[in-house]
Amino acid sequence: MTDPKRTKDDDVAAKESEDAARASAVVAGVLGAIFTVGGFAVAGPKTGMSVAVGAVVAVANLVAMRAIIGAILTPSEDDLENAETASVDAPSGGDPVAEAEALGAAEAETDEATRAAAEASAEASKKQGRRGGAAWGVFALLKILVLFGGIGLLLMRGWVEPIPLVIGYGVLPLGITASTLVASLRPKRRR
């Protein structure tokens, strides 16, 4: 039986993290659209298109990083099951010394059970992590290669202008900053 409080806290933290990542992508997308319209209005179609390309690359980067980080940090069901701990029920209404001794014995058993579960979880995570972590690591490497290669190709062919492209890509840190600011202003949930 898994610890319901731990599972609930993990679910809340994962949901808050997912909401923040989604908010970053949405804010970056909205800012990218605003900057793109501004680029078209102020400097013409090539500048507007360059800003749009930068914004699309930034939002795609945010979405890809959200998937990578979520896959790496989200515990699997096996990890949650292996993290079970035995509950400690101390006798009530008796001798305080006897209660302390019983509690100490129960804690020692719980510590041993927790240690065994942690070792089993670590071993399972190592096996799973080698496959899952390596796959996501390869995906992250490919993402960077496509990002730099694609931007380099666009710039070398002259299809986009460099400064407007950077302005469009600038929505990435702006989106992260804005979503973090909004998240910090929300009232904290009590657990």
- Which pTM value belongs to this model? 0.64
* pLDDT value, residue 152: 94
* pLDDT value, residue 136: 80
Per-residue H/E/C for the chain: CCCHHHHHHHHHHHHHHHHHHHHHHHHHHHHHHHHHHHHHHHHCHHHHHHHHHHHHHHHHHHHHHHHHHHHHHCCCHHHHHHCCCCCCCCCCCCCHHHHHHHHHHHHHHHHHHHHHHHHHHHHHHHHHHHHHHHHHHHHHHHHHHHHHHHHHHHHHHCCCCHHHHHHHHCHHHHHHHHHHHHHHHCCCCCC
d(CA 87, CA 187): 32
* pLDDT value, residue 20: 78
CB atoms within 10 A of CB 46: 15
**Which of 64-73, 97-106, 145-154, 172-181 has the least mean pLDDT?**
97-106
pLDDT at 119 over 80: no
**Which of 31-40, 79-88, 115-124 has the least mean pLDDT?**
79-88
**pLDDT of 11-35, one tens digit each?**
666 666 677 778 888 999 999 999 9
Amino acid letter for position 61: N
Read off the pLDDT band of 179 (50, 70, 90): confident
Report for 56-60, 74-78, 93-97, 111-115: range of highest mean pLDDT: 56-60
Terminal Cα-to-Cα distance of the chain (whole angstroms)? 20
